[in-house]
Amino acid sequence: MIPSEHKKNAPVELTVGIITISDSLYSSKEKDRDDVSGDIIQKRMEEAGFSSERHLCPDDEKKIRAILWELLDNSKIDALITTGGTGIASRDKTIDVVSSLFDKKLPGFGELLRRKSYDQIGTSVILTRSTAGIISQKPVFCLPGSPDSVEIGSELIIPELPHLVKHARE
């Protein structure tokens, strides 16, 4: 089977839930503080013709889990992308929470993200625990908070997202 045939009948109209997980952005009193990484994801989704819904969450296990389930239970959301909380600091909880909910893991995503990031940042790429998987028949991607990593991750996600959504629903 050729790849284009395999991707046939994938949905073209998708809505992506974007969750920026950041203590500093969540608690910021500065009204002009930008969520650069969330902005990049939203822009890339729009350029691909997908809709999006944005959320901001502190790096707190209970709050991350709550916003994940809220969006996973939303029938309008087809996939989720988080940004932030993927490192090794004690406050980085995203991967711990999200990974515990995976029905299926997609290890190739994190491997490829780290490989492509290595070309830009070298061996410090080992500090990211970026990952992806399926939860409740929806693809979920966890990107670092770095704008450069978000650019790379978006490049990886967008071409395969309709195909992933199709198979996650089966």
Note whether residue 118 is domain-resident.
yes
How does pLDDT run across 106-154, given as a tens digit for each residue? 999 999 999 999 998 899 999 999 999 999 999 999 999 999 999 999 9
Condensed to tens digits (0 to 9), the pLDDT of residues 2-19 reads: 566 667 788 989 999 999
CA gap 133, 168 in Å, rounded? 10
| Tokens encoding 109 | 């995503």
CATH code, domain carrying 142: 3.40.980.10
Of 2, 10, 8, which Cα lies nearest the Cα of 161?
10
Q: Is residue 162 part of a domain?
A: yes
The SS3 of residue 149 is helix
CB atoms within 10 A of CB 148: 13
Domain boundaries, position 121: 3-25+35-169
Cα separation, 114 vs 96, whole angstroms: 18
User: Can you name the residues that pair with 143 across neighbouring β-strands?
Assistant: 83
pLDDT number for residue 7? 74
At 6-62, the pLDDT tens digits run 677 889 899 999 999 998 888 875 545 689 999 999 999 999 999 999 999 999 999
**109 HSE (CA, 13 A, CB side):** 28
89: in domain: yes
Residue 86 lies in a domain: yes
Residue 131 lies in a domain: yes
Q: How far apart are CA 108 and CA 112, in angstroms?
A: 6
Query: Do 86 and 97 form a contact (C-beta atoms < 8 A)?
Result: no
Mean pLDDT of all residues in the chain? 93
CB-count burial class (<10 Å; 0-12, 13-18, 19+) for 159: exposed
Answer yes or no: is 30 within a domain. Answer: no
- Please provide the distance, in angstroms rounded to a whole number, between the alpha carbons at the two ends of the chain: 18
Under a CB-based contact definition with an 8 Å cutoff, are residues 23 and 58 in contact?
yes
Domain count of the fold of the chain: 1
